[in-house]
Amino acid sequence: MRKKMLLIAEILSLIVAGILFWSGFQSIEPPVFTKVSHRYVADDKYWGMPVTLTEMITPQDIAIQEFVKENSLNTGSPEQRVIKTFDLFERSGVYFYTADSTATFSNAVVKFGNFPDLWEFPKFILAEYKATGKIAVDCETGSMLLTSLFLAEGVPAREVIGEVDIPNQGIYGHGWCEVNLDGKWYLIESTRGKPLQKFIPTPKIYKPYFYFTDTYVNALQNVKIEDIEKIHTLTPDGVRALNRYLDSIGL
Phi-psi map region of 193: left, alpha, beta (phi>0 left; psi -120 to 50 alpha): left
Query: What ranges do the domains of the chain cover?
Result: 31-248
What pLDDT, on the 0 to 100 scale, is given for residue 95? 57
> pLDDT tens, 180-239?
999 999 999 988 888 888 999 999 999 999 999 999 999 887 777 666 666 667 777 888
The CATH code belonging to domain 31-248 is: 3.10.620
Q: What is the structure's pLDDT at 218? A: 92
Angle 128-133-139 (CA atoms, 0-180°, nearest 5)?
A: 65
How far from each other are the two terminal CA atoms of the chain, in whole angstroms? 67
Order of strands across the sheet that contains 33-36 = 33-36, 217-220, 206-212, 157-166, 170-181, 184-188
pLDDT at residue 160, as a whole number = 95
Question: Tens digit of pLDDT for each residue in 24-53?
Answer: 333 344 567 777 777 788 776 776 678 889
Contacts of 98 (CB under 8 A, 6+ apart): 114, 115, 116, 117, 138, 233
pLDDT tier at 116 (50, 70, 90 boundaries)?
low
How many C-beta neighbours within 10 Å does residue 201 have? 11
Evaluate if residue 122 carries a pLDDT over 60. Answer: yes
Which pLDDT score, from 0 to 100, does residue 164 have?
A: 92
| Consecutive H or E run containing 112 | strand 108-113
Query: What is residue 3's predicted lDDT score, i.e. its pLDDT?
Result: 46
Q: Does residue 114 register a pLDDT over 70? A: no
The dihedral formed by the CA atoms of 44, 46, 50 and 51, expressed in degrees to the nearest 10: -140
pTM of the model: 0.80
CA atoms within 13 A on the CB side of 8: 5
Give the residues across from 177 on adjacent strands.
Answer: 159, 188
Longest CA span, the chain: 89
The answer to whether the CB of 242 falls within 8 A of the CB of 234 is yes
* Alpha-carbon separation of residue 3 from 7, 9, 12, 59, 120 (angstroms): 6, 10, 14, 72, 73
Q: List CB contacts of 158: < 8 A, sequence separation 6 or more.
A: 147, 177, 178, 180, 185, 211, 212, 213
What is the predicted pLDDT for the residue at 51? Answer: 85
Could you read off the pLDDT of 129-176 as tens digits, one per residue?
Answer: 888 888 878 888 899 999 999 999 999 999 999 889 999 888 888 899
With a cut of 90, say whether residue 7 has pLDDT above it: no
The H or E element containing residue 237 is helix 236-248
Gap between the Cα atoms of 16 and 22, Å rounded: 10
